[in-house]
Structure 1
Amino acid sequence: MEAPQLISRQQALAAGLTDKDLRRLCRSGRWQRLRAGHYLDAPGRDLDASLRHRLMTIATAETTSDSAITSHCSAAVLHGMSTWDIPLDRVHLTRDRINGGRTSGRVIVHAAQLEPDEITVVHGIRVTTPARTVVDVARCEGFEQSVALGDSALRHGATTSAELQEHLHRARHRPGSRAAMRVVRFLDGRSANIGESRSRILLHRSGLPAPELHARIFSDDGICIGRVGFLFPDLGVIGEFQNALPGPRSPEQIAINETKRADQLRALGWMVLRWTWHDLADPTRLAHRFRAAARLADRRHRCGHWTATPQP
């Protein structure tokens, strides 16, 4: 299905439609009124939250002066970062001034200092750079949400750890700077998806040692069996988050391949623990499963062996 097209009132009128036509199209459900003066040529259905926010951001930018810079989660959406569990009901803008922030039904305006090198252009819209965006979000949103967003920015090469440290230093006197510091210190672009980012947080909060991410496992004769999501070499445990995203392989083939690989890993003495999105909702239970697997691996230690090489 094609993405809905954003149409301004001026564009509609120039194409020969009238205000009466626009009202009729919206009442019939063929079009949606996104905000004052902007419409979507799509049936009245729920859009993906990120896509809807992107369109809202573009529509807002068309009616806002250049002095208002798209920022925070709105900039993150335009940069293609993860915005898991972050409210996307309002467009965020930042104006370079000391005070004068405000919140309305559709827009949040932040008042904060903006340096020229903290502004870039995406799709013709002036937005905060990826590094500034990550730090701004980390100052304002929850730890898990900010880590998922920051990991995605690093993973896709939108920014670097050095850039984040620089922008963290610039924000040291702004509200939420301590929270942002905790987020930036925890980020790791090797996390392949939101679930792996959340898993790292859960494991950390459970007091488990930091895992090696996407490490390679070798057999006795030096053959690489594959990479694993979370390797705990001192515990003898391998953890795998099952993202269950659609792909070219059938669910049956995926299950067969995963079972075969798990059998190979267990034959080398590793305990293999898998979890899903559902398991992340019960961190206490998942932590208990980890500790149980570690105890069992310890008992089998004399009979098994573990060989791993970190990801290059």
Structure 2
Amino acid sequence: MNLSVVGAASALPARPFTASELNELSIKRYDLRVAVERGEVLRPFRGVFIPSGVEDTAETRAAAVSRVVTPHHVVSDRTAAWIHGVNTYSLSEQAQIPAIETCARRGYAPTRLEGVDGRSRDLLDRDIMTINGVRITTPVRTALDLGCNLKRREAMAALNELAREHGITRSDLYQELPRFKGRRGVVQLRELVPLLNRHVESQRESWTLLAISDAGLPLPETQVWVDVEGIPTYRLDFAYRLAKVAVEYDGEDHDDPDQRIYDEERRGWLVDHGWIVIVVRRGDFTGDRLDAWLREIKDALTPTYSSRRF
């Protein structure tokens, strides 16, 4: 059977499967490799495959992980976030196929299965939920763990994305923080929780907001609509309304020619109506380029007139 000829929809099971099932499914390894290269089959983790025609849901993702994870371990950290609909892996990690991350509750040994990163962790019953038969940390517990475990910018993005997807609030996280006293990474977590923002719409927008905070600048409003003749027309990523300063992150989607034309027209209108528009791009988060746009914000927010006489 050649998957590249017959196609994934007719040749593959309508569910996730593992490499150990290939003989049972009458699939040759070469054919599977071709199907993966053609995008007919996805390989989220080592030895785990999902036909592209299968609906991408939390249940499907949990079913994929269940092919590898043993019942007495809990899926955690970035794998849990992935099941909850939030991708926290870097591009290089995805290219190399990441390990499934799990933890064992205290008193049980972490898994040593190949392709699984097993750890031990103090988990309460309220930290665990079940999706499609797989035990997994809840969105709140996953956010708390990633707030400790990930690098600072990635941790902020993960917190915001999980909050947006699952309605997590600062109060939810503050309630659990005392349990994390003494845990490695908790200082970072305590710093990030007050900055939680469910309205941020991308990882790099989270990075932008965090950089503004780290620079000691006042935090802008998020996703601000600007009216044209009384009608909400232009939405800004971040804005200081009174100062009429907009801060926008331009990701890869802004490379599209039509999007660029729209951006130019929109920003031209804003400038004509008294706004200062500061644009942040992909490579603007380190060194001089980071300092440059933060300085632009600071200068734009510095009053040019004071009512004070002396």
Whole-angstrom CA distance in 1 between matches of 2:129 and 2:163: 18
Aligned CA RMSD, in angstroms, stands at 3.6
- 1:271 and 2:276 equivalent? yes
**Equivalent position to 1:241, from 249, 254, 277:** 249
1:287 aligned partner: 291
Distance 1:294 1:133, change over 3 A: closer
Alignment of 1:118-157 (within 5 A): 118-157=127-166
User: How far did residue 6 of structure 1 move?
Assistant: 3.8
In structure 1, the residue corresponding to 2:253 is in which secondary structure? Answer: coil
In structure 2, the residue corresponding to 1:42 is in which secondary structure? Answer: helix
Whole-angstrom CA distance in 2 between matches of 1:48 and 1:188: 35
Alignment of 1:215-234 (within 5 A): 215-218=224-227, 222-233=230-241
Distance 1:98 1:273, change over 3 A: same
Unaligned runs of 5+ in 2: 1-6, 50-61
Once the two structures are superposed, what CA deviation does each residue of 1:250-297 show, in whole Å capped at 9, x if it has no partner?
A: 9333223222221221122211111221223x3532432342465468
Once the two structures are superposed, what CA deviation does each residue of 1:196-246 show, in whole Å capped at 9, x if it has no partner?
A: 011112222233221111123346x64544221111346542111112338
* Amino acid paired to 2:239: L
In structure 2, the residue corresponding to 1:210 is in which secondary structure? Answer: coil
Stretch moving more, 56-65 or 73-82: 56-65
Question: Structure 1 vs Structure 2: percent identity of aligned residues?
Answer: 20
1:30 aligned partner: 31
- 1:117 and 2:121 equivalent? no
In structure 1, the residue corresponding to 2:216 is in which secondary structure? Answer: coil
Kept after mapping to 1: 8 A contact 2:19/2:47: no
What TM-score results when the alignment is normalised by the length of structure 1?
Answer: 0.74
1:66 aligned partner: 71
User: How far did residue 68 of structure 1 move?
Assistant: 0.5
User: How far did residue 127 of structure 1 move?
Assistant: 0.5
Unaligned runs of 5+ in 1: 33-40, 303-312
1:309 aligned partner: none
2:181 aligned partner: 172
2:57 aligned partner: none
* Amino acid paired to 1:67: H
Kept after mapping to 2: 8 A contact 1:134/1:150: yes
Kept after mapping to 2: 8 A contact 1:98/1:113: no
2:55 aligned partner: none
Equivalent pairs counted in the alignment come to: 280
Kept after mapping to 2: 8 A contact 1:270/1:297: no
Stretch moving more, 116-125 or 135-144: 116-125
2:84 aligned partner: 79
